[in-house]
Amino acid sequence: MAEDITPEALLAAVLASLDNAKAEEIVAIDVAAKTPITDHMVVCSGRSHRHVGAIADHLLKDLKDGGFGTATAEGQTTCDWVLIDAGDVIVHVFRPEVRQFYNLEKMWAADPAPVTGRG
């Protein structure tokens, strides 16, 4: 990825691509303060195996064509859950049942419960 591309510009490109591919229930989560792995996590759904695969293919092509480099993808053989690592943005494209099972939004968006000492 080019040095002058900001995480916010990448996120905007990802969200536009997902919208154009008719991804459903798109959720963007700022995880920069929670993990050094990435700045943003995006979770969305496709209606079927075929739709999940098409969303992932569309996003990979749009990122490359938009000058954001070549993202890596895992899970395209089954298309239940495709993970796309674009560096500052990681995208999870799920079939609805799989998304509900893993519930990543809840895990990453929830603030940890405060820990109180005993004393």
Q: Is residue 16 part of a domain?
A: yes
Pairing of strands 72-74, 81-85: antiparallel
| pLDDT tens profile 71-82 | 999 999 999 999
Query: Above 90 in pLDDT, residue 109?
Result: no
Please say if the pLDDT value at position 15 is more than 50. Answer: yes
Asked whether residue 29 is assigned to any structural domain, the reply reads: yes
81 with 98: CB under 8 angstroms?
Answer: yes
- The domain tally of the chain equals 1
Beta-sheet pairing, 40-45 with 72-74 = unpaired
pLDDT at 112 over 90: no
Residue-number span of the structural domain to which 83 is assigned: 7-109
CA distance 56 to 62: 10
Q: Assess if residue 45 is contained within a domain.
A: yes
